[in-house]
Structure 1
Amino acid sequence: PIPELAESWEPSADASKWTFKLRKGVEFHNGKTLDAEDVVFSINYHRGEESKSSGKSLVTAVKDVKSDGKHTVVFLLEGGNADFPFIMSDYHLAIFPAGTTDFEKGIGTGAFKLVSWEPGVKALTKRNPNYWKEGRGHFDEVETIYINDVSARINALKTGQIDAMNRCERKTFHLLEKISGIKGINLTGTTHYTIPMLSDVPPYDNNDVRLALKLTVDREQLVKHILRGYGAVGNDHPIAPSQRFYASELPQRKYDPDKARYHMKKAGKLDHTFKLHVSDAAFSGAVDTAVLIKESATKAGIKIDVVREPQDGYWSNVWMKKGWTFS
Structure 2
Amino acid sequence: MQATAERYLELMERLGSPAGGGDRIEVSLEELSACWFCTTRNAKLIVRKLVEDGLIVWHAGRGRGNRSHLTFLAERDSLLLQVSQQLAEKGEYKQAFEGINSHDPGGAVKERFVQWLNGHFGHDTEASDGNPAVHVLRIPVSANLDTLDPAEVYSAFEAHSVKQIFDQLVHYDAVSGQFLPELAHAWESNADMTEWTFYLRRGVTFHHGRELTSEDVRFTLDRLRESRANRWMVRGLKQVECAGPRTVRISLDRPNRIFLRYLSSSAMSIVPADLILEDEARFKQLPVGTGPFRVTAWSEERLELTANSEYYQGRAHLDRVVIAFIPEDSATALVGGERFPSALEVEEGAGASDPAEDWPTIEALSKGSMLISWNLRIPGPHHAIAFRRAIDLLVNRTEMIRELGEYRVYPSRGFRPTERTPLLKDRYDPESARRLLRESGYDGETLVLNTIGRYEPDARWIARQCAAFGIAIEVAVIPKKLVYDQDILQRAHAILFEVLIAREDVCEVENYEQEGHLLNAGLPPEMIRWAVEQIDLALATDRAEERRALLEGIEERLREDALVTFLLHKKLNTQVHPAVRGAGYNAHDWMDFKDIWIEPTVG
TM-score, normalised to structure 1, is 0.70
The CA distance in 2 between the partners of 1:194 and 1:75, in whole Å, is 37
Within the alignment, does 1:67 sit opposite 2:241 as a pair? yes
Residue type at the aligned position of 1:67: E
CA drift of 1:297 comes to 3.0
The CA distance in 2 between the partners of 1:153 and 1:89, in whole Å, is 33
Within the alignment, does 1:275 sit opposite 2:443 as a pair? no
Q: 1:219 to 1:127 in 2, by over 3 A?
A: same
Within the alignment, does 1:131 sit opposite 2:311 as a pair? yes
Within the alignment, does 1:110 sit opposite 2:291 as a pair? yes
Unaligned runs of 5+ in 2: 1-171, 174-179, 346-351, 499-603
Unaligned runs of 5+ in 1: 158-163
The CA distance in 2 between the partners of 1:320 and 1:81, in whole Å, is 35
Q: 1:260 to 1:76 in 2, by over 3 A?
A: farther
On the 8 A contact 1:9/1:21 being kept in 2, the answer is yes
The partner residue of 2:462 within 266, 285, 293 is 293
CA drift of 1:262 comes to 5.6
The CA distance in 1 between the partners of 2:482 and 2:406, in whole Å, is 25
The CA distance in 2 between the partners of 1:138 and 1:81, in whole Å, is 37
| Matched position secondary structure for 2:266 | coil
CA drift of 1:75 comes to 5.1
The partner residue of 1:19 within 172, 178, 196 is 196
On the 8 A contact 1:277/1:308 being kept in 2, the answer is yes
| Matched position secondary structure for 1:129 | coil
Q: 1:87 to 1:185 in 2, by over 3 A?
A: farther
On the 8 A contact 1:39/1:73 being kept in 2, the answer is no
| Matched position secondary structure for 1:21 | strand
On the 8 A contact 1:113/1:126 being kept in 2, the answer is yes
The CA distance in 2 between the partners of 1:23 and 1:222, in whole Å, is 51
Within the alignment, does 1:254 sit opposite 2:391 as a pair? no
Deviations 1:254-278 (A, max 9, x none): 3344555566666655644321111
On the 8 A contact 2:331/2:338 being kept in 1, the answer is no
Q: Which residue of 1 aligns with 2:212?
A: 34
| Matched position secondary structure for 2:368 | coil
On the 8 A contact 2:217/2:248 being kept in 1, the answer is no
Q: Which residue of 1 aligns with 2:418?
A: 241
Within the alignment, does 1:55 sit opposite 2:222 as a pair? no
Could you say which structure has the higher strand fraction?
2
The CA distance in 2 between the partners of 1:131 and 1:293, in whole Å, is 48
TM-score, normalised to structure 2, is 0.41
Within the alignment, does 1:143 sit opposite 2:296 as a pair? no
Q: 1:65 to 1:300 in 2, by over 3 A?
A: farther
Q: 1:202 to 1:55 in 2, by over 3 A?
A: same
CA drift of 1:90 comes to 3.5
The partner residue of 1:180 within 348, 353, 358 is 353
The CA distance in 2 between the partners of 1:28 and 1:91, in whole Å, is 16
| Matched position secondary structure for 2:370 | coil
Residue type at the aligned position of 2:248: T
Q: 1:43 to 1:304 in 2, by over 3 A?
A: farther
The partner residue of 1:46 within 201, 224, 236 is 224
On the 8 A contact 1:7/1:23 being kept in 2, the answer is yes
On the 8 A contact 2:239/2:251 being kept in 1, the answer is yes
Q: 1:198 to 1:299 in 2, by over 3 A?
A: closer
Q: 1:198 to 1:296 in 2, by over 3 A?
A: closer
Q: 1:145 to 1:218 in 2, by over 3 A?
A: same
| Matched position secondary structure for 1:188 | strand
Q: Which residue of 1 aligns with 2:377?
A: 201
Q: 1:112 to 1:206 in 2, by over 3 A?
A: same
On the 8 A contact 1:6/1:20 being kept in 2, the answer is no
Q: Which residue of 2 aligns with 1:167?
A: 339
| Matched position secondary structure for 1:292 | helix
CA drift of 1:149 comes to 2.6
On the 8 A contact 1:41/1:98 being kept in 2, the answer is yes
On the 8 A contact 2:186/2:199 being kept in 1, the answer is yes
On the 8 A contact 1:261/1:302 being kept in 2, the answer is no
The partner residue of 1:321 within 466, 489, 493 is 489
Residue type at the aligned position of 2:370: T
| Matched position secondary structure for 2:273 | coil
Query: What is the CA RMSD across the aligned residues, in angstroms?
Result: 4.1
Higher Rg of the two aligned structures: 2
Residue type at the aligned position of 1:138: H
The CA distance in 2 between the partners of 1:262 and 1:83, in whole Å, is 44
% identical aligned pairs: 21
On the 8 A contact 2:292/2:311 being kept in 1, the answer is yes
Bigger drift between 125-134 and 222-231 goes to 222-231
Within the alignment, does 1:97 sit opposite 2:97 as a pair? no
Residue type at the aligned position of 2:317: H
The CA distance in 1 between the partners of 2:212 and 2:265, in whole Å, is 19
The partner residue of 1:304 within 457, 473, 477 is 473
Q: 1:307 to 1:199 in 2, by over 3 A?
A: closer
CA drift of 1:30 comes to 1.8
CA drift of 1:122 comes to 0.9
Q: 1:235 to 1:117 in 2, by over 3 A?
A: same
Q: Which residue of 2 aligns with 1:161?
A: none
On the 8 A contact 2:221/2:234 being kept in 1, the answer is no
